[in-house]
A and B are shown apart, each in its own frame.
Chain A
Amino acid sequence: MKYIFWPVLFVGALVLQWWWSTYLSIGGLAPQCLLVLTVAVAAYRGPEMGQGMGFFWGLFLDTLGVHLFGAHALLLSLMGFLVGRLRRQVDVASLPPQVLAVWVLSIIYSLLYHLLGLMFLREFLWWGWWAFVFVPIMNACLAPFVFYLIDWTERATG
């Protein structure tokens, strides 16, 4: 079960991210499902898994985009590493830390992405205030469901 689950989760997350941003975006805004998933996987499975999944999900996002090939991969693998390392200091089983962590990491992610744009493209890839404010909130709202899914899988697969 667990050997099937992770590949399925990986591909399913790709499709979910694409589907949500294509069909369910509100005013062009959609939650960053892959970021939330990376945080959740790293929180439950450690930095290796978090980094690995985050890196490849990031590559997927980079492949879909046109600018900064490698930025999402770098940022998501960093998020996975960071959360994986800090997971023992945070109670990932309770709701407030999950929401707060995802909200903070979303803002950091956004800022770092803009910073990478400034570094490598010499322009600040600003998504706009709406996206800067609401996407982290959307991510935070999605976090409990994603954490619950990973938690349930952890318990189900042992």
Chain B
Amino acid sequence: MAQIGLKEVVKKFGDFVAVNGVSLDVHDGEFLILVGPSGCGKTTTLNMISGLESPTSGEIIIGNRVVNDIEPGERGLGMVFQDLALFPHMTVFENIAFGLRVKKTLEPDIDRQVRAAAEAMHILPLLGKRPAQCSGGESQRVALARTIVNDPSVFLMDEPLSSLDAKLRVDMRTELKALHERLNATFVYVTHDQAEAMTMADRIVVMNGGLVEQIGGPLDIYDKPASRFVAGFFGTPTMNFLQGEIVAANGALTFQCEHIEHFLAENTPDSLAGKQVILGVRSEHVVVNSGGQQGQVKLIEPLGDVSLVFFESGGQEQLVAKVAPELRFSSGDQLTFGFQAAKCHLFDFDSGTRLN
């Protein structure tokens, strides 16, 4: 059994509060990703699960027991570190065998298990080398082999792909996901890369400033961000945000700001009328060449499959639209645009929480 529970966990370093009352449950066999900007407390949370840090208050439960006072080595976890933390003075074989030697496994068993783990990670030819002689991707596999050889029921990973180049990182994502399917173990993974979180996770925990902003499946979070922060953190390019007021007119609610007027979806609660809000709309939900708003193109980024059009609407902040590549614009062109009403997000101006 490998479900993990955190109950009101707080971690303070002196006066600095790194984690401020986090509660969450990790289900058995789940791939859970903690994501957030630097300093949001995600690594500290992971370190508290691993036992490398002990919480200032709150409980950490693995299986059915509270592990607050249990040594990291006795929690039955495997961990892959950000810089991989391979022992530079040992060969790849010795690195993988480390955990087995700690457990005083018999020599023939060590040899068999290390080879099995190395074979699973396709690194058999590397066993005699030193970590410094391995490439980034190879070191990554060695670190994974060193963890899987101990057969933990929970894998903790602290930004393990951050040292790889972009191409390899994308390949390793697929591989990690396959590894998760094969091992059927619980994975808790920390990253600051929202794309990594979206592609691999069963569930995502978005953290900010030591607090959990939202927990949910990748598409839930993308489609219904719980706060302005989450909305801005997920998706590239960043969601368009407009600051304005909700006005009730002729029985319908409209969003109004300096130069833009937008009819809100019918299911928008009437109680919002008169409120100062922030309207968020993703670039793919900005409709170009229809709708009643006027804009002027500033910049085009053709990505091949789509083009990003950055435009201004009467001195307002810059907006961006994702358009089909067949639509050719050039800088200075006039365009008309509108927003898909059902895809607009409304956030409270002060607190940033979701309103609709």
Q: Do A and B bind each other?
A: no
A interface vs B, CB < 8 Å?
A: none
B interface vs A, CB < 8 Å?
A: none
